[in-house]
Structure 1
Amino acid sequence: MDHSVPDDLSSPGIGIILKVSRCICCNYLRQPVELLLIWVLGSARKGVDGGGNGGKLKLTVSGGPVISCCTDTVHDGLVRTQTSAFSQVQTAVGSLILARKRMMMEVIPQRLKDLWKEWELRALVFLSLASQISLILMGNRRKCNPKIMIKVPVWCAYLLADAVATMALGVLLNNLGEIYEKKGSVDDANNEVTAFWAPFFLLHLGGPDTITAYSVEDNELYLRHAFQLGVQTVTTLYIFLTAWNGSRLSFLTIPMIVIGFIKYGERTCTLWLASRDQLRDSMLTDPDPGPNYPKFMNEYCLKDAEGFYVEPKEVKDKVEITIPHREADSTSDASNLIIAHRFFQTFKRLFADLILSFQDRDISQSLFQEMSQEDAFNVIAIELGLMYDMLYTKASVIYTPCGHVCRLITIMLTCIVLGIFSFTDKQHYSKVNISITYLLLGVAIFLELYAAYALLLSDQSNVWFIQQKKSKYLKAINCMESVVKPPRWSSSMGQYSLTHVCLKEKPCYKILRCSFISELWEKHRYKNYKELPRYLQKSIFKYVKKRCDQLKENIGSNVSLRDLCNKRGSIALVKYNKHLSLDWSIKDVEFDQSIVIWHIATELCYYSRSWGNISGDFNRKMGKLLSRYMMFLLLLYPSLLPAGIGLIRFRDTLSEGKNFWEERMSIFCTSQTHATKACDRRKERRIQACKMLLKVKTQVLPIKVKGDRSKSVLFDACRVASALNEISDSKSRWKMVRDVWLEMLTYAASQSRGSEHARQLKRGGELLTHVWLLMAHFGMTDQFQISQGHARAKLDVK
């Protein structure tokens, strides 16, 4: 095709215009745009073509036919010609774009558009109901299940619930608005039914009782939800008034609006009560101005002026300390419920980073000293469950007299609406819409009944039954709980092994390495969870109790609580092997560095020895479990640990480990015989890898060779592992390793904040959170700082 341009228009600018038009325009627009642009340029240059072509401009554009543009009509002046041309360009291009849009709209057949118009709102109803059912069934499960199979569905349902309900109200409002504009009223029976659905979306925005916030940060959005409560209520009322025709169904909409407003109001109030500032303010005691100081000083000065010898003395008021005690005729779980409920009123202040009194410490210490490890951890699990309910559910509202009244109102009104709707004449309504309406009412009643059932089985209700001596009801509830009630927490501890990451086969790793998800893959692919064994639970309890006894024995000495809690392995090193110079791996480095060093050293010691008596060696198992748990915290939840560069250190160490084992293990894999089982191959692979690493000589300090550029501690861990393997007595070696990790665990717990532990409750609970609260009950925390709260001054006149 000829792409020539007349001589009088030939210029570099024309070529640029043609290229630009081909880049920015689709095939439908290219020819007209090129034509118009060239015509504008020609008009701007020539004004009027008086000869040559006889008033016509011939152009051949973009492979099209020869096009003639008449220029006989001349405008006065070049400026007017250019302005008029540009306006024509705008008009032509706008028309072409509109035509293009119409062509795209015609791609979707009208039949499909009508079908979507009919089922759009119905689809949103089904999606909203699915979200509500998922939330009420699984929303409360995450406090006892840390697996991702619970997290992802709950997260998706939580995000969908509000978005779908809000979208459905918007679609419903738009549909009714269009009908009202066309006809002047909404007189269609099916539109009346769909308008009846509006209060149910308001109810769905209120959410189920089992979850109001997915994370602690959601509680801070109470103002947003309060605003949305007003907006969506007004929207629902507008839909109700638009569709009002005085029928029975219109009257049934009124109680449903009341129910929806109550539900959404409960959620908004719950979010406000669980917000950080309000939670802290609700836990503060009433202001106490103390004794009248001016009055005391006036009396003091008067007596002194009269010549009396006046001496102020401090007098302590006698305060009766009520210690929760176990009922002789009650079960262990019932006693634990009463004790946990009593302590929760005090120790919940720790989650708001508030301080407690020494009187609270003495009460807690005296009781926990007499407990078994099983009862102590059960009490703590109940307390953490109560805290979870306060932060993430509607517990702070529904366990109040007002909450009980609201629950009774919503259940009764929903049942009444269902009963009246069942006897309403429905001949003029669509069968599909009738079925959806029954489904909405049925799910609403199901949500109410399930909430009442969960309320009956809750720990708060059990405490009330115990206090009211309702033993018959309590026995029936206990029988139901044994069948259906989930555990109070996951009773598991996360595990992460750095050596496993280096040695495991990574399918499609070359593809993942090129994308941003490689690090996320390594974090979550190689973590796992182990059930918390009772022997480890017992060891933790005995260790904390022993440290509490040491603290009591050292009262008045130079050993303080802070000094005792700041130990992170040095006590165990001194106790089991005084001549072993490993203090550098604990005292002279940061805490995250100690974790990585001792984690690798524990792995090397664990796999470099024979597997003979491992089934009976609990200390060896505990050392490995605690080592991998601390590594799990460092990598996935570093906010629970003291600040440091643990993630950088982990990545550098992981990179060095991969480089070291990549070549050596490939040689080993090609030379080894095929094992009968895959697990045997993996086990043998780890043993050989650890032995290879321990063969590296470490006489020269690694930091002198690598400098400070790399934060890897791989061969520092080899130094520690080699020193540990020099201990001939295997039991002493693993007792020392176990106690080092117990010290690190308690140190991490003592340095963590309650607000961070509150965030972990939604993830099935962390062992570190239980250890932190256990130490608080034994008085091993800096948050006991209020002393002599019941002292007053008295004048001694002589």
Structure 2
Amino acid sequence: MAYQAADWSTNFSLNILSRGLYDCKTNSLHPHPNYVAMAIWAPLFLLHLCSPDTITAYSLEDNELWLRNLFGLGRSFGLAIYILKGSWTGSPINYLAIPVLLVAMVKFAERNLVQYMASSNQFRDSMLQGPDPGPNYAKFMDAHSAKEAEGFVIYRGPLIETPLEEDPFHNLAETDIPDDEILRHAYSFFETFKKLFADLILSFQDYKSSRSFFHKHSSDVAFKVVEIELGFVYDVLYTKAIVIYSRLAIVSRLISFSLITSVFFVYLFKYWHDFSETNMIITCSLLAGGSYLEFYEMILFFSSDWTRLWLDNHKNLLVDLIVRTISFSRSLHLVPADKRWSDHLHQYNLLSFCLKEKSATRGIIRKFFHAKLEKYMYKTKTVPPELKKMIFNLLKEKSVRAKNIKECKELCAFRGGPVLKNAGRGLDKLDWSIEVEFDQSILLWHIATDLCYYEDLKSNPNLVENSKCKISKILSDYMLYLLVMCPFMLPNGIGQIRFQDTCAEAIEFLQEWKAIRDIKQACEELLLVNTKVLPNEVKGDRSKSVLFDACRLAKALKVQEKDKEWTSEQMWEVMTHVWIEMLCYAACHCQWRYHARQLTNGGELLTHVSLLMAHLGLSEQFQISEGHGRVKLLVS
């Protein structure tokens, strides 16, 4: 809200000041002394607008509009200069506005430069290598023809070139590594894998090196590296990180802080009694706020990953002292902690939503607000460490099997079918729930997971403490959240229509059973419905609801428990692996610009999984083959 209102409020305030200047000049040849003091507000407004280093864009679209933002801010600066010029009387207080305006201009230049560099075309162009015409084919063939005309026997041999760079992680033992090492590796991979966010292809060497590193480390290290990488991506796209982490920027920050603080104290101690109390309070508040912003930005600067990385590469006594000071400050919570993403999964449950919708139908006004707001009210769950471990182990296993681009595409297309097939017990007959459209599969397995969960909760309350059961439930609600709230991150389909139709049928069913008060009772009644006849044979294809198809799936899963050799624990293990495969499928098929967009909302597990898959070679944006060698001309 504050970011969105910043431009508007700044322009509004500047317009009021310029109007005041016009009124002053209309009534008198010289501006009123109070207005002269108020004129310093103009550069202060611009300083507050352009000052924050931690946000230069709220969305990727803001970066694309860098030229429009340039003209908009240019107009604001022109208005500020007009106000200062019009209020100029040569008094000492006029001169205090000059350093503030200079600092604001530097901030303005930084903000627009960053937006320009983060725009899609410039971001992509910055990573493109220079043109490579390759060997001179025409010259080669001229030499070939000349030698052939002279009667030489011509043949071609391979040209021995510089061998590929040796894998730096080839001899690395599988072990945990310290945080500073993780940071260095994360930045190294970021420099390479940021190409993905520009839709560029990575080389065979990139794939080989990354895959080797991640194969030799635990899930904790892998997800930590990915987390730091995405933090760097966020900084490049949405903050001033591109321009502020340099020696020149450090000097600029120190000068800016010194100038604003000096102006504040001069104004406070020299002009406190010269103007109206209201004027002084507002001016001092703006100056104090500017000084605080500069000071806070310096704290963030020294506690960032970029600074830690620079300090780690320039070790000496002074650097060691700075590192110890930062560590001590962080232990006292004086410096922000290293929190790069939320580490939470948003949760959205269809049956819970329908139960609330049922109760909301009693009043028109209540129903209206429920329909508009309830959709955006969801819970969050912390990502379980065991879930990360299971995801990583599955992806490592797939990575070992992916020998070429064809196998990679096949592995990325898995959505749970191989899990059902390998589980045996006739579960491969349930592949109908996997082979449908992806959004339909999510809805089917989401409702079936709920039905099985609350059925087991009734018969064996301790079973739901099983980690596989918890993970299945969390992933089920997370995938539905993506379907409802972030459909752009999933493959194209009619998921919104299916969700609405399924909700409508569920609400209709719940209204018929007025005694149903909670989700447990709802699941019990749904499982009691006879589903021997396929729902689409009765309903046709007009409605896209999958409510009772999900009941069929849940019953088929529960039937397996009647076999003494098949336990609930095994069923939940299968369901967990199905959900993980669905998560990986969605991650692999989400465009990278949508992953980048979600970074502003705290990030998604889907994005972390997608980047992890790329590191393990499970991406179509790799040049999997080593390419063709060059040849040289041999004669005899």
Which of 485, 502, 508 does residue 337 from structure 2 map onto?
A: 485
Q: Which amino acid aligns with 1:203?
A: L
Aligned length: 620
Q: Which has the larger displacement, 604-613 or 742-751?
A: 604-613
Contact 1:327 1:335 in 2 (8 A): no
In the alignment, is residue 542 of structure 1 matched against residue 380 of structure 2?
no
Q: How does 1:244-643 map to 2 (within 5 A)?
A: 244-315=88-159, 316-321=161-166, 323=168, 332-422=178-268, 424=270, 427-469=273-315, 470-482=319-331, 483=333, 484-504=336-356, 508-511=360-363, 517-525=369-377, 527-552=378-403, 560-577=407-424, 579-580=426-427, 581-587=429-435, 589-609=436-456, 610-614=459-463, 616-643=465-492
Which of 712, 729, 747 does residue 585 from structure 2 map onto?
A: 747
1:380-439 CA-partner distances (Å, limit 9, x unpaired): 000111111111111112123443343233223223323443554554322332232222
Q: How does 1:158-307 map to 2 (within 5 A)?
A: 158-186=3-31, 188-307=32-151
Question: Match of 1:312, SS?
Answer: strand
1:557-600 CA-partner distances (Å, limit 9, x unpaired): xx61111110111111101125231111111x111011101111
Task: Name the counterpart of 1:697.
Answer: 530
1:507 shift after superposition: 6.1
Contact 2:227 2:340 in 1 (8 A): yes
Contact 2:58 2:238 in 1 (8 A): yes
Which of 600, 619, 624 does residue 762 from structure 1 map onto?
A: 600
Distance in 1 separating the partners of 2:106 and 2:174? 43
Q: Which amino acid aligns with 2:535?
A: P
Q: Give the TM-score of the pair, scaled to structure 2.
A: 0.92
Distance in 1 separating the partners of 2:439 and 2:534? 19
Contact 1:355 1:786 in 2 (8 A): no
Distance in 1 separating the partners of 2:175 and 2:617? 30
Contact 2:176 2:221 in 1 (8 A): no
Cα distance, 1:778–1:647 mapped onto 2, change above 3 Å: same
Distance in 2 separating the partners of 1:668 and 1:183? 77
1:313 shift after superposition: 3.4
1:601 shift after superposition: 0.9
Contact 2:167 2:208 in 1 (8 A): no
Distance in 2 separating the partners of 1:590 and 1:578? 25
Q: Which has the larger displacement, 398-407 or 345-354?
A: 398-407
Distance in 1 separating the partners of 2:573 and 2:269? 75
Distance in 1 separating the partners of 2:51 and 2:261? 19
Q: Which amino acid aligns with 2:508?
A: N
Cα distance, 1:204–1:425 mapped onto 2, change above 3 Å: closer
Distance in 1 separating the partners of 2:245 and 2:362? 54
Q: Which amino acid aligns with 1:619?
A: K
Contact 2:70 2:112 in 1 (8 A): yes
- What is the root-mean-square deviation of aligned Cα atoms in Å? 2.4
1:294 shift after superposition: 2.3
Contact 2:361 2:367 in 1 (8 A): no
Distance in 2 separating the partners of 1:174 and 1:634? 50
Task: Name the counterpart of 1:779.
Answer: 617
Contact 1:314 1:792 in 2 (8 A): yes
Equivalent pairs: percent with the same residue? 44
1:515-536 CA-partner distances (Å, limit 9, x unpaired): 75543333123x2100111111
Cα distance, 1:475–1:408 mapped onto 2, change above 3 Å: closer
Question: Match of 1:311, SS?
Answer: strand
Cα distance, 1:327–1:468 mapped onto 2, change above 3 Å: farther
Question: Match of 2:347, SS?
Answer: strand
1:220-270 CA-partner distances (Å, limit 9, x unpaired): 121112112322222122111111111111122222211111112211111
Task: Name the counterpart of 2:540.
Answer: 707
Question: Match of 2:532, SS?
Answer: coil
Contact 2:341 2:602 in 1 (8 A): yes
1:353 shift after superposition: 1.6
Contact 1:317 1:790 in 2 (8 A): no
Cα distance, 1:786–1:602 mapped onto 2, change above 3 Å: closer
Q: Which amino acid aligns with 2:407?
A: S
Distance in 2 separating the partners of 1:518 and 1:668? 20
Question: Match of 2:155, SS?
Answer: strand
In the alignment, is residue 723 of structure 1 matched against residue 556 of structure 2?
yes
Distance in 1 separating the partners of 2:583 and 2:239? 30
Contact 2:219 2:388 in 1 (8 A): yes
Cα distance, 1:749–1:549 mapped onto 2, change above 3 Å: same
Distance in 2 separating the partners of 1:621 and 1:475? 41
Distance in 1 separating the partners of 2:326 and 2:174? 20
Question: Match of 2:461, SS?
Answer: coil
Task: Name the counterpart of 1:679.
Answer: none
1:137-159 CA-partner distances (Å, limit 9, x unpaired): xxxxxxxxxxxxxxxxxxx2112
1:611 shift after superposition: 3.2
1:349 shift after superposition: 1.1
Cα distance, 1:158–1:409 mapped onto 2, change above 3 Å: same
1:508 shift after superposition: 4.9
Q: Which amino acid aligns with 1:560?
A: E
1:479-513 CA-partner distances (Å, limit 9, x unpaired): 33343315111111111111212234766544457
Cα distance, 1:770–1:735 mapped onto 2, change above 3 Å: same
Distance in 2 separating the partners of 1:283 and 1:180? 54
Contact 2:196 2:592 in 1 (8 A): yes
1:646 shift after superposition: 0.5
Distance in 1 separating the partners of 2:450 and 2:277? 66
1:299-350 CA-partner distances (Å, limit 9, x unpaired): 2222222222323334343132463798999962111100000000011111
Distance in 2 separating the partners of 1:252 and 1:514? 56
Distance in 2 separating the partners of 1:471 and 1:413? 29
Contact 2:468 2:572 in 1 (8 A): yes
Contact 1:203 1:260 in 2 (8 A): yes
Unmatched 5+ residue regions in structure 2? none
Question: Match of 2:560, SS?
Answer: coil
Contact 1:248 1:424 in 2 (8 A): no
Q: How does 1:58-137 map to 2 (within 5 A)?
A: none
1:640 shift after superposition: 0.6
Q: Which amino acid aligns with 1:480?
A: S
1:184 shift after superposition: 1.7
1:679-707 CA-partner distances (Å, limit 9, x unpaired): xxxxxx43332222112222211111111
Task: Name the counterpart of 1:118.
Answer: none
Distance in 2 separating the partners of 1:202 and 1:441? 12
Cα distance, 1:486–1:403 mapped onto 2, change above 3 Å: same
Cα distance, 1:331–1:696 mapped onto 2, change above 3 Å: closer
